[in-house]
Copies of this chain bind each other. A is one copy, B any other.
């Protein structure tokens, strides 16, 4: 990917990381800014997609992969039609993320939302880790199921070391740098 101008070109920001790592928090901030500056953006988060595209799928390796590939299929359709897309999904397996990368091509931007599992478990926003550690929820990524970190994500965000607004700014600046988004002088991010 070079830094030629791509204004009007679609992209997929693919947020991957553990439950509780901060994907949704950062995605929400980025979404708001893109909505203002691009006029629109589509958010495909794990839950929306499980409801609309993957009801009935479970959490086996195969079902997880199928779910991620479906998100990728839709993200690709949108991206190649010039739409900016934010995907927010644990998407724990490297191989299947890389298949999506291959489909979408250079407009695929992998954003690794990284925090140690202990930190995620302590936050436990949805009360899921408690259930995972007690065994009530089986096959829970990071606890009883693997998470494979990206080898070369376009962005690596450590949410235990950085405020969400700073992380979101880095995502937006990435889009500006690679010409997906016009730079705004004196942009007031409050």
Contact = CB atoms under 8 A, between A and B. Distances in A.
Contact of A53 (B40, B56, B70, B81): B70
A74 interface: yes
Interface of A: 40, 42, 52-53, 55-56, 66, 69-70, 73-74, 77-78, 81-83
Contacts of A56: 56
19 contacts: A40-B81, A42-B77, A42-B81, A52-B69, A52-B70, A52-B73, A53-B53, A53-B73, A53-B74, A55-B66, A74-B74, A77-B78, A78-B78, A78-B81, A81-B81, A81-B82, A81-B83, A82-B82, A83-B83
Given A81-B81, A82-B82, 19 more contacts: A40-B81, A42-B77, A42-B81, A52-B70, A52-B73, A53-B53, A53-B70, A53-B73, A53-B74, A55-B66, A56-B56, A74-B74, A74-B77, A77-B77, A77-B78, A78-B78, A78-B81, A81-B83, A83-B83
A138 B124 CA distance: 48
Nearest to A44: B77
A42 B53 CA distance: 18
A52 B70 CA distance: 6
Q: Lowest 4 CB-CB distances: which A-B pairs, in order?
A: A52-B73, A81-B83, A53-B70, A74-B74
A82 B78 CA distance: 10
Contacts of A52: 69-70, 73
Nearest to A74: B74
Contacts of A69: 52
A81 B73 CA distance: 16
Nearest to A66: B55
A87 B73 CA distance: 16
